[in-house]
Amino acid sequence: MTAVTTETDTKTKGRGAPFRFLAPRGLIGWVLPLIIVLLWEALSRTGVITENVLPAPSEVLAAGWQLLLSGELVHNIAISTQRALIGFVIGGGFGFAFGLANGLWSRSRDVTDTTLQMIRNVPHLALIPLVILWFGIGEEAKIFLVALGVFFPIYVNTLLGIQGIDPQLTEMGRIYGMSPSRLFWRVILPGALPAIFTGLRYALGIMWLTLIVAETIAANSGLGYMAMQAREFMQIDVVVLSILIYALLGKLADSLARLAESLSLQWHPAFQRKDA
């Protein structure tokens, strides 16, 4: 799936030659957000968008500056990021481990896959009431939900990646006398990696989504909490600021994942620069 997207990117780039003078390829994606923000500012200043519906970007920026000076913004971002990462490491780690185990050993798959598929079909956010009863609004509640949300995309894609490996390649490895561990490191893991990265990027999206919802409902710190507090005091500029920060953090996480992906999948035709 990822490969296809990237291939299309390369093609679009070839066809989009007239736009190349605007910016190098990496920056061109930021032109549209910039236009939207400028348009929004203009509409706010002319009074088309009233202040109690959507404050102007400059006001949101000013609110952000205030929060930055007070240290509140940095504190909340740090605490949300910490929760996100802890949950991601726990959920992703278990997902990867189960994905490997079930991909490599059919016995393990027979025992656990049915259970995991049933749990997967429960929307994990529906567990919020139960999780609050269990953990209150402490850190465990958020981390648990993030871990649960992240588990499945990583699990499913790791499993798919391993099952999708060309059996001709594993046969080749055995013919040339590779030991099981060598076969895993040289053939199975690299072969599953593209699918694992697809799962990783999907998991990062779910990670933010889960965390924000959980923080909005049950927390006393973090970005979601900041937004909910602002709503109570009718600080619409802070609410909008929080939403924009989600967008930026989500984009940042995805960009990092893509970077890691293109570094480790250099062999993949979709990641080779044809103009190089």
Partner 1 sequence: MSTAFTFQGVQRVFGSKQVLRGINLEVPEGQFVAIIGKSGCGKSTLLRLLAGLDQPDGGRITRGEAARGAAGTRIMFQEPRLLPWARVTENVAVGLTGIAQGAAANARAADYLAEVGLADRGSEWPSVLSGGQRQRVALARALVGQPAILALDEPLGALDALTRIEMQQLLERIWREKGFTAVLVTHDVAEAVILADRVILLEEGHVALDLTIDLPRPRRHGSPEVAAYEQEILDRLLGRNAA
The residue ranges that bind partner 1 (CB under 8 A) are: 168-169, 171-173, 175-178, 182, 186-187, 190-191, 193, 265-269, 272
For the bound state, the minimum distance from the C-beta of residue 182 to partner 1, rounded and expressed in Å, comes to: 7
CB nearer to partner 1: give 173 or 222: 173
CB nearer to partner 1: give 187 or 214: 187
- Checking 109-114 for CB contacts under 8 A at 24+ apart, the result is 109/159
CB nearer to partner 1: give 232 or 275: 275
For the bound state, the minimum distance from the C-beta of residue 274 to partner 1, rounded and expressed in Å, comes to: 10
For the bound state, the minimum distance from the C-beta of residue 270 to partner 1, rounded and expressed in Å, comes to: 10
CA–CA separation, 112 vs 69, rounded Å?
51
CA–CA separation, 197 vs 254, rounded Å?
11
* Burial class for 27, CB neighbours closer than 10 Å (0-12, 13-18, 19+): exposed
For the bound state, the minimum distance from the C-beta of residue 172 to partner 1, rounded and expressed in Å, comes to: 4
CB nearer to partner 1: give 54 or 169: 169
Q: How far is CA 114 from the centre of its chain?
A: 26
Query: φ, ψ for residue 252 (rounded to 5)?
Result: -60, -45
Residue 276 DSSP label? -
For the bound state, the minimum distance from the C-beta of residue 269 to partner 1, rounded and expressed in Å, comes to: 5
CB nearer to partner 1: give 37 or 178: 178
* Burial class for 276, CB neighbours closer than 10 Å (0-12, 13-18, 19+): exposed
